[in-house]
Structure 1
């Protein structure tokens, strides 16, 4: 059996039957072995293929395969691979390498992919013989799905896929279980803290969604009568936003804002999230905190008490240990509409709200993110946001997510749209059902708050015209009520641009 055939067979047995990429000469020797029951999802930019794979992972919760074109493809895609690292998304990144016996000559397209990718992947390997191919792939797969999840790179020389792998070199897929159950002594430690605290808050992070711990989170919060905040740099929405315990997202701008909000509580439980991941770490966060995460790298960085285990297991065990009748806080439902009246974008989101019941949202609107969360009724895992701050991610990930058949909506800024408009081509090619709203404030409004005035902060473009060229129905809004009705009235792929007057 050829190595290429063996790798695809291995992928199939692992439940992976799709590849995302933008092919070149160094990949064809691998791709020609792809079985007919596999799907190759083409993107018109290497980075977009990674973003699509990330979106598809969120839709299926299975690790995905990306196939990149040697040095140019890898370097084109590094921002998106970095997003996978920061957002803890399991990917296997196969990069086509030059011929094995010519690597010493460093020909065109050659690169030291292990060195190039350093800092944006969990690990990187180069296959140096046909005997190592399957073992390397299995190792990469295991690493990608061991917490903290992340991308693992494999450099695949283009002559390897056509080499024969003998029967003796075949490797059966080993069973691989990662549990991370919580030690009883750790639960008892937290229980003592809970009993001695007069007020408790919970900060919920992305792992609540990754481990499907939404119900367990709410059940514990209700037992404690504790308010729930989302982590500062929210990437996956963890709960039902209509829950009376939900207090909103913590500030992602300043650590001092986080401290100001949480210092009124005796104890803060951080469940599967990053509390200090903010734009301006202006102060140390010195509070009584217990952080629970499966991410040992995150946990090892923190000065506060940390427990490394599966957050879902922690929530179940702590709840079971709590005595009946524990009641720590009095939660008051806030009238969020009072602080949001009179703003045009607020009115747009309110008008949009009634259409979004069945939609999953990918948002890339830094200026309006918090307003969106306050107005739109969100369910667990119904909102995804870039964790690294990468522009262009939402549109790419949206397309990948939609390939699985879901109804999806991107709400993005004009700056974000102009990074990856080519993703619209893939959306049309693969008959996805998606909608796009571009909020065009004619530039980078999120930067204007910092007191810098310069024309290069305000590039003016017309995304709806670009969308037409890629086969979307698209228009610029003139009547927001009727235009939103037009956008959502059917399953056609449509883009609506909402242009804001620049102040």
Structure 2
């Protein structure tokens, strides 16, 4: 009997890890793997026309399922094509196992086409990168890769396998990777110190990041906020960290704007940051952002983030769910009757602040209702109003994202994803990956026009695999985010200056026609009264569909 080959062991290891999909773009050095897929119908290859599309689909799929997704890339050029979105995955902490085929190991010294230092290329943006040199090690390497991807902090790993190694024997056992149980409890002294600070606070605030979503700590955040009388904010959060209908939820903390952030912190005396960095900036300043008057409590499962950039009064290394539960219990024991009454009064004031913000939103919507080009807020209100029941949303609307957040209510984990990492291009493929992870739910991607063009090939993948998603393109005909950043950079010197290479015009991008060329139903909307009918048609289509909405792109 012939010994099992490494490529067969590879397939068996993927099955042992529960892999349902391979997201990839095939190439010559992966031929042993690609050919064998037909013998394993339990695994479906989701074909991307460009490697970034494969990474973007896998990112969303892994984030929603909570399991590593498997990506196949083609040698050095394919890995290079994927690096932009692999950076986003690494920055966001998504568990991926990325495989690329290396040239025949017996001929690497000849420097053949497509060969290169794949491990060196992948290492900066992965948790672990390795090249397997013996067939018997293939299942072992994959097993470790799946484990490392899930170990906290989660992230992508990379495995390079020369094509000749896949044809070598691999007689060893195939067993699933072990999982590290990471419900690490907080230090009791840290909990007591944090509870004392919150109990004595006059103006506390809680800022949450994606670590809350990963830990499933949404209920614990709400409970602690209620006890402390503290508003809940998000900090570059790209998932559901709290029910956005909660009376203490006030939206995003203004971490993207240093002046607004400084203003917000001026009204806080105790700041609790959970599962987020303090604070990630696009254009940082050397001066500290957190003033000396603010007492900072930071809860994170990654010790690297604790005290990394700012003085921290209480650094809590723990799983956010356990830390918040224990902190709430300690706060309840610690609070005096007077402190409890003060917290209740603060909660009432926060709820009133939220009510006023909702009233202001209604007035603003009425003001822009008939504006043309369509106001971003008007578009987002229409999307929120006409979303199918139970719909999941992928958001890469960039400068329109704040408007979407104001209009959209989300409560269920996995029902809302936002592109993260900083680079553009996750939205188009991420919408497809989200649908593959939630096939029972309608899925809508809201994507900015500039971001969409980074991975527009995702349209073909959805059509080819018959993945019924809807994209809504926010078409302001520009890189508006760059214009805003330029205005921030220039300040008063911006007067009289023009924006260089930031307009997507002459010719305009017609996404409805682009969609049709990829086999996707497309429709263009230019006036507000066209919005509702077009959205209803797309949401009810039952096939991949796109609505190209021309929106206002002016800057202040």
Where on the TM-score scale, by shorter chain, does this alignment land: which range? over 0.9
Residue matched to 2:189 = 185
Aligned length: 500
The question of whether the paired residues in 1 share the 8 Å contact of 2:274 and 2:320 is answered with yes
Give matches, 1:344-383, under 5 Å: 344-356=375-387, 357-381=389-413, 382-383=415-416
Deviates more, 1:157-166 or 1:335-344: 335-344
Residue matched to 2:318 = 309
Shift in Å at residue 338 of structure 1? 1.7
1:393 aligns with 2:402: no
In 1: Cα distance, 2:433 partner to 2:380 partner: 25
Deviates more, 1:28-37 or 1:395-404: 28-37
Shift in Å at residue 269 of structure 1? 0.8
| Structure with greater helix share of residues | 2
Give matches, 1:71-220, under 5 Å: 71-166=76-171, 169-170=172-173, 172-173=175-176, 175-179=178-182, 180-220=184-224
In 2: Cα distance, 1:143 partner to 1:2 partner: 24
Q: What are the superposed Cα offsets for residues 137-191 of structure 1, whole Å, 9 maximum, x if unpaired?
A: 222222111111111111110011111123xx33644633232232323222212
Residue matched to 2:447 = 412
* One of 291, 294, 299 as aligned partner of 2:301: 294
In 1: Cα distance, 2:432 partner to 2:163 partner: 29
Shift in Å at residue 192 of structure 1? 2.2
Residue matched to 2:372 = none
Shift in Å at residue 55 of structure 1? 1.2
Root-mean-square deviation (CA, aligned residues, Å) is: 1.9
In 2: Cα distance, 1:466 partner to 1:291 partner: 46
Residue matched to 1:247 = 250
SS, match of residue 297 in structure 2:
strand
Shift in Å at residue 380 of structure 1? 4.2
SS, match of residue 77 in structure 1:
helix
In 2: Cα distance, 1:210 partner to 1:107 partner: 43
In 1: Cα distance, 2:356 partner to 2:139 partner: 57
* One of 213, 231, 242 as aligned partner of 1:227: 231
Q: Which runs of 5+ in 1 are unaligned?
A: none
Q: What are the superposed Cα offsets for residues 463-486 of structure 1, whole Å, 9 maximum, x if unpaired?
A: 111001111111111422322232
Q: What are the superposed Cα offsets for residues 376-417 of structure 1, whole Å, 9 maximum, x if unpaired?
A: 222244322222222121111111111231321111111111
Shift in Å at residue 292 of structure 1? 0.7
Shift in Å at residue 201 of structure 1? 0.8
* One of 459, 462, 467 as aligned partner of 2:515: 467
Q: 1:73 to 1:248 in 2, by over 3 A?
A: same
1:499 aligns with 2:499: no
In 1: Cα distance, 2:107 partner to 2:201 partner: 66
Deviates more, 1:109-118 or 1:374-383: 374-383
Shift in Å at residue 431 of structure 1? 2.0
The question of whether the paired residues in 2 share the 8 Å contact of 1:252 and 1:277 is answered with yes
* One of 10, 29, 51 as aligned partner of 1:26: 29
Q: Which runs of 5+ in 2 are unaligned?
A: 369-374, 488-493
Shift in Å at residue 234 of structure 1? 2.6
- TM-score by length of structure 1 reads 0.94
Q: 1:72 to 1:32 in 2, by over 3 A?
A: same
